[in-house]
């Protein structure tokens, strides 16, 4: 068991990118964190970035109900409760594929990971938060700028991120009687391995390929921590954090 004063978080997709940055930020702030991801080795690497912190690496595929249940069972067995779920695991799917050429298997993989996985993790967290003593907790879903506006050839990713906004709203409403606060962070061009292509140039709506600015992923992590550490009587329903000059607001 961990320190009774420590808050307990589950971070999915914790082996790289935004998930790793958020997990490290929480660990450094004294949280106990269950690190979830498909492969054990990257999770171990994340934990090693904060030596001595209270972490638990749990390999899990969020699209598999049995993996999700095992993740939350392991978290409660180790730490005693769940105070926060950062619902972060996701995939872009194949890039640059027009809608008429997108294989159904590729569509289904994105939906299973980004939407079904987010639902399964939220459901598992919700069950624990409703039953634990003291009751309640917080869920933060990782949306995207694509929850508002698509990029070209991103139908699967964009559809799931729009759906995630509906999931956030519904969970937020249904969680009220049980002290479960649910919000969403929409992120644009945080510098990670997944967004490295932004620097080289990406397709724009006008057909041009243009490099885009990125921002430090640590700025995203600090925002998630701020949302996470609010009292449950307060909630950031939606937050948008983006590279200041990326082509999103207006015409670019």
Q: Is residue 25 part of a domain?
A: yes
Counting residues of the chain whose pLDDT is more than 70, the rounded percentage is: 97
CATH number, domain of 106, equals: 3.40.50.720
As a whole number of Å, the end-to-end CA separation of the chain is 50
Q: Is residue 1 part of a domain?
A: no
188: Cβ contacts below 8 Å, ≥ 6 apart: 144, 145, 240, 241, 242, 243, 246, 248
Q: Are 45 and 23 in contact (CB under 8 A)?
A: no
Q: Cα–Cα distances in Å, from 187 out to 146, 200, 215?
A: 9, 19, 10
CA atoms of 211 and 221, how far apart (whole Å): 24
**Chain-centre distance for alpha carbon 39:** 17
* Residue from 104, 126, 157, 178 carrying the catalytic annotation: 157
Per-residue model confidence as pLDDT tens digits over 37-70 = 999 999 999 999 999 999 999 999 999 999 999 9
Q: Are 93 and 150 in contact (CB under 8 A)?
A: no
Per-residue model confidence as pLDDT tens digits over 142-187 = 999 999 998 888 999 999 999 999 999 999 999 999 999 999 999 9
Give the CA count within 13 Å in the CB-facing half-sphere of 190: 24
The pTM (predicted TM-score) of the whole model is 0.93
Q: Is residue 247 part of a domain?
A: no
Q: Is residue 181 part of a domain?
A: yes
Q: Cα–Cα distances in Å, from 192 out to 16, 21, 41, 76?
A: 8, 10, 18, 30
Instruction: Name which residue leads in pLDDT, 201 or 129.
Output: 129
Residue-level pLDDT at 2: 46
Q: Is residue 80 part of a domain?
A: yes
Expressed as residue numbers, the domain containing 202 is: 8-242
Sequence-ordered strand ranges (E) for 53-126: 55-59, 84-87
Which three-class secondary structure state does DSSP give residue 91?
coil
Number of structural domains the chain divides into: 1
157 is catalytic: yes
Q: Is residue 27 part of a domain?
A: yes
Q: Is residue 252 part of a domain?
A: no
Q: Is residue 61 part of a domain?
A: yes
Per-residue model confidence as pLDDT tens digits over 93-111 = 887 899 999 999 999 999 9
């Amino acid at each position: 068991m961990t320190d009774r004063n420590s808050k307990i978080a589950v971070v999915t997709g914790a082996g790289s990118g935004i998930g790793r940055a958020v997990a490290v930020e929480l660990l450094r702030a004294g949280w106990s964190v269950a690190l979830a991801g498909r492969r054990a080795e990257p999770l171990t690497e994340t934990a090693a970035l904060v030596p001595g912190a209270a972490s638990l690496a749990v390999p899990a595929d969020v699209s598999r109900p049995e993996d999700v249940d095992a993740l939350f069972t392991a978290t409660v067995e180790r730490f005693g409760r769940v105070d926060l779920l950062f619902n972060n695991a996701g995939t872009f799917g194949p890039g640059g594929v027009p809608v008429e050429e997108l294989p159904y298997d590729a569509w289904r993989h994105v939906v299973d990971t980004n939407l079904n996985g987010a639902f399964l993790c939220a459901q598992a967290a919700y069950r624990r938060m409703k039953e634990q003593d003291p009751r309640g907790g917080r869920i933060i879903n990782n949306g995207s700028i694509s929850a508002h506006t698509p990029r070209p050839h991103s139908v699967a990713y964009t559809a799931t991120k729009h759906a995630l906004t509906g999931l956030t709203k519904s969970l937020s409403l249904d969680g009220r009687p049980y002290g479960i606060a649910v919000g969403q962070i929409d992120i644009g061009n945080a510098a990670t391995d997944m967004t490295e292509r932004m620097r080289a140039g990406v397709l724009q709506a006008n057909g041009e390929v243009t490099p885009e600015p990125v921002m430090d992923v640590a700025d995203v992590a600090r925002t998630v921590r701020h949302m996470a550490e609010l009292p449950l009587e307060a909630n950031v329903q939606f937050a948008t954090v983006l590279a200041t000059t990326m082509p999103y607001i207006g015409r670019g």
